[in-house]
Amino acid sequence: MITENRLEELRRNAVPMKPESGYYGMPLLKEPVWTWEVPAYFFVGGAAGAAAVVGAAAQIAGADRGLVSDARWIAGAGAMLSGPLLVADLGRPERFLNMLRVFKVQSPMSVGAWTLTAFGTFASAALFADEMRKRTQLPVQLIGDASAILSAATGLLMATYTGVLIGATAIPVWSQHVSVLPVHFGASALASAVSMLELAGHNQKALNILGLAVAAFETYMGYRIESDDSEASEPLRRGMTGITTRVGAFFSGPLPLLLRIARFRKAAAASSLLGSLITRTAWVEAGRASSRDLRVPLALDGRNAAGARNQIGK
Amino acid sequence: MAGRRVTGFFTDSTLCIGCKACEVACKEWNEVPDDGFRWSGLSYDNTLALGHSTWRHVKFVEHDATIGAGGNSPDLMTWQFSSDVCKHCENAGCLEACPTGSIVRTEFGGVYVQPDICNGCGYCVVTCPFGVIDRRPDDGRAFKCTFCYDRQKVGLEPACAKACPTGSILFGDLDALERAADRRIAQLHAAGMSDATIYNPKNSSVGGTHAFFLVRGDPKTYNLPPDPIVPVTLLKPAWNAVAIGAAAMAIGSLLAFALGGRK
């Protein structure tokens, strides 16, 4: 139901009917209904998936057992937090099990629900086995390590599929970036996993190498977004969502990169974590703004579509 | 499919008088809740768009007359009406995206949301290229035109088509309607209404719609997108990017620990 405030806004921005302004400048697409739980899940689920990958890599390389153990904790706890976040966002939370009613490869949401289910199973098994190994003499090493490898394999998907989820939609700013979003979100997830491990006191050189690499990549992503002057990408540069995007990009890319070069590793880690969270929120909010922009779906001439322009960037 | 009867809506806006009987009939038959009792100030259109509780929506298109097109008078503005509805796409974004299998293709070729299965994930909302389906906040589930699936099951026509007093909303076999639309457009063009055009995006990735429209002028003035994109066409580049991202993350992590794991 349209609210009085939204109606006021629509009236204020309405324009005379012309092919250049659509139907009174009314938005063509519907706004995403997702609330804060969804970007929070992008952050938590991504970090958990990437932590499983880092943990498995550390284990294969024979790194410190404490690091492997903490990585399993991040993966397991993140997986356990992801479920409730997604359920809370449903319009009918009591029906969350319907997500596992069918498997549809053509639905990124369905693939994601099954990925989270598999990842959660493996990540919590790996964590449980690790804690049992510390406390008991039970022969759980093998099953724990096998689960850890499987959690890393599904973790790779956890860290990246959310880019497909928003990319393969009708929302212009998301679909425009469909072929970079999975990599961007994967890098952001890896940055958060590395940062969490560093803040937990681990200072392996490998973590710093990963931190440097993703900060460099995120700096490139920030540059790429900044230099993209297409209409579809406007919510990433203009208005409130433009500010959020830039703040997120600054804390994800250049700032941690400089801090790492200056050897302030913990400060860089904190910056990357914050940047990742802000970046996920910024993308969802940009999608909301983009859904109001009828210029892209209607293929309108930007300069003439004054009314359309007013509908976004508020 | 053998024995499958594909039905459609052909909405001819040149016959629409803006009475909104379709909106009312739809609401009554489907027990759709009210969509607010507010004046928009934009012509006689107070619902403004299709939505979770507006399954038929009459657009009131006012603009300056294009002299010479269809015998427009130079003294009067033109005022056209068009009853909008879910397009029931051949390749439906909402249907493909639905993770619960709640959205299905009926035996009549329509796109139907099963209300007992929908869990309100909201993914259909962002995958509809026409901005039709939406989640009803106080209910939590997604709603849109059902193509009166219940009525079609027992051989009745949808409530909106039944109520339309001018024959602007035609219901029937899709093939027959498409032929009727071709005849109608030829008739209108012959009568001098040169700006009449059919909106049915068959050349887009949507692959045509089961509810199509005859409008005057540019379909953009009716918020009808010239090239709607069904989001499943984006899956290939998206999953390719996942492969690249996942490979980079896996190899990068292994390399990093091989180089500096013990320090």
What average pLDDT does this structure show over B43-58? 94
Taking CB atoms and an 8 Å cutoff, what residues of chain A touch B47? 2
SS (H, E, C) B211-247: EEEEEECCHHHHCCCCCCCCHHHHHHHHHHHHHHHHH
User: Would the pTM count as exceeding 0.80?
Assistant: yes
Confidence category of residue B55, pLDDT binned at 50, 70, 90 = very high
What average pLDDT does this structure show over B98-116? 97
Taking CB atoms and an 8 Å cutoff, what residues of chain A touch B213? none
Query: Which among A99, A181, A297 is the nearest to B100, CB-wise?
Result: A99
Q: Is B125 on the interface with A (CB under 8 A)?
A: yes
Token couple for B9: 């809506």
pLDDT at A8: 78
Phi, psi angle pair for A203, to nearest 5°: -130, 35
What average pLDDT does this structure show over A279-301? 93
DSSP string, chain A: ---HHHHHHHHHH-----GGGTTTT--SSPPP---THHHHHHHHHHHHHHHHHHHHHHHHTT--HHHHHHHHHHHHHHHHHHHHHHHHHSSSGGGGGGGGS---TT-HHHHHHHHHHHHHHHHHHHHHHHHHHHH---S-HHHHHHHHHHHHHHHHHHHHHHHHHHHSSS-HHHHHTTTTHHHHHHHHHHHHHHHHHHHTT---HHHHHHHHHHHHHHHHHHHHHHT---STTGGGTSHHHHHHHHHHHHHHTHHHHHHHHTT-HHHHHHHHHHHHHHHHHHHHHHHHHHHT--HHHHT--TTT-HHHHHHS--
Q: Is B186 on the interface with A (CB under 8 A)?
A: no
What average pLDDT does this structure show over B64-83? 70
Calpha distance B89→B91 (Å, rounded): 5
pLDDT at A191: 98
pLDDT at A1: 54
pLDDT at B36 over 90: no
- The reply to whether B182 and B254 lie within a common domain is no
Token couple for B65: 């007359």
Q: List, for residues A188-223, the tens digit of each pLDDT value.
A: 999 999 999 999 999 999 999 999 999 999 999 999
- The reply to whether B157 and B125 lie within a common domain is yes
Query: Average pLDDT of chain B?
Result: 92
Q: Which domains does chain A have, with CATH numbers?
A: 34-168 (1.20.1630.10), 178-314 (no CATH)
Helix (H), strand (E) at residue B175: helix B174-190
Calpha distance A90→A38 (Å, rounded): 10
User: Which of the listed ranges A5-9, A308-312, B33-37 does the model predict with the highest average pLDDT?
Assistant: B33-37
pLDDT at A305: 46
- The reply to whether B162 and B248 lie within a common domain is no
Residue B210 counted as domain residue: yes
**Total number of domains constituting chain B:** 2
Residue B1 counted as domain residue: no
Q: Print the domain residue range for B235.
A: 230-263
Residue B206 counted as domain residue: yes
- The reply to whether B168 and B236 lie within a common domain is no
pLDDT at B9 over 50: yes
A30/chain B closest Cα distance in angstroms: 5
Confidence category of residue B73, pLDDT binned at 50, 70, 90 = low
Q: List, for residues A140-162, the tens digit of each pLDDT value.
A: 999 999 999 999 999 999 999 99
Q: Determine whether the interchain pair A19/B218 forms a contact, defined as Cβ–Cβ distance below 8 Å.
A: yes
Residue type for A11, please? Answer: R
pLDDT at A116 over 80: yes
- Looking at per-residue confidence, does A63 or A244 come out higher? A244
Counting residues of chain B whose pLDDT is more than 90, the rounded percentage is 81
Q: Determine whether the interchain pair B220/A19 forms a contact, defined as Cβ–Cβ distance below 8 Å.
A: yes
- The reply to whether B181 and B195 lie within a common domain is yes
Query: Average pLDDT of chain A?
Result: 92
Q: Determine whether the interchain pair B246/A110 forms a contact, defined as Cβ–Cβ distance below 8 Å.
A: no
pLDDT at A12: 74
pLDDT at B197 over 50: yes
| CATH, residue B223 | 3.30.70.20
**ipTM confidence score:** 0.93
- The reply to whether B140 and B261 lie within a common domain is no
Helix (H), strand (E) at residue B162: helix B159-163
Q: Determine whether the interchain pair B123/A180 forms a contact, defined as Cβ–Cβ distance below 8 Å.
A: no
Residue B23 counted as domain residue: yes
> Can you give the length of chain A in residues?
314
pLDDT at A3 over 90: no
Q: Determine whether the interchain pair A7/B240 forms a contact, defined as Cβ–Cβ distance below 8 Å.
A: no
pLDDT at A306: 43
Question: Minimal Cα distance from A96: which residue of B?
Answer: B119
pLDDT at A87: 97
Query: Which among B41, B226, B254 is the nearest to A11, CB-wise?
Result: B41
Question: Minimal Cα distance from B46: which residue of A?
Answer: A7
pLDDT at B224 over 60: yes
- Looking at per-residue confidence, does B206 or B70 come out higher? B206
- The reply to whether B72 and B169 lie within a common domain is yes
Confidence category of residue B41, pLDDT binned at 50, 70, 90 = confident
- The reply to whether B118 and B160 lie within a common domain is yes
Residue B120 counted as domain residue: yes
pLDDT at A74: 98
- The reply to whether B255 and B159 lie within a common domain is no
Question: Minimal Cα distance from A161: which residue of B?
Answer: B242
- The reply to whether B104 and B123 lie within a common domain is yes
Confidence category of residue B74, pLDDT binned at 50, 70, 90 = low
CB B11 within 8 A of CB B145: no
Between residues 229 and 258 of chain B, which touch chain A (CB distance below 8 Å)?
A: 229, 231-232, 234-235, 237-242, 244-246, 248-250, 252-254, 256-258
Query: Which among B221, B237, B263 is the nearest to A179, CB-wise?
Result: B237
- The reply to whether B259 and B173 lie within a common domain is no
Tell how strand B7-12 and strand B211-216 pair up.
parallel
pLDDT at A16: 61
Residue B252 counted as domain residue: yes
Lowest mean pLDDT among A54-68, A267-281, B30-44: B30-44
- The reply to whether B203 and B107 lie within a common domain is yes
Q: List, for residues A7-43, the tens digit of each pLDDT value.
A: 777 777 776 666 667 898 899 999 999 999 999 999 9
pLDDT at A47 over 50: yes
Residue B2 counted as domain residue: no
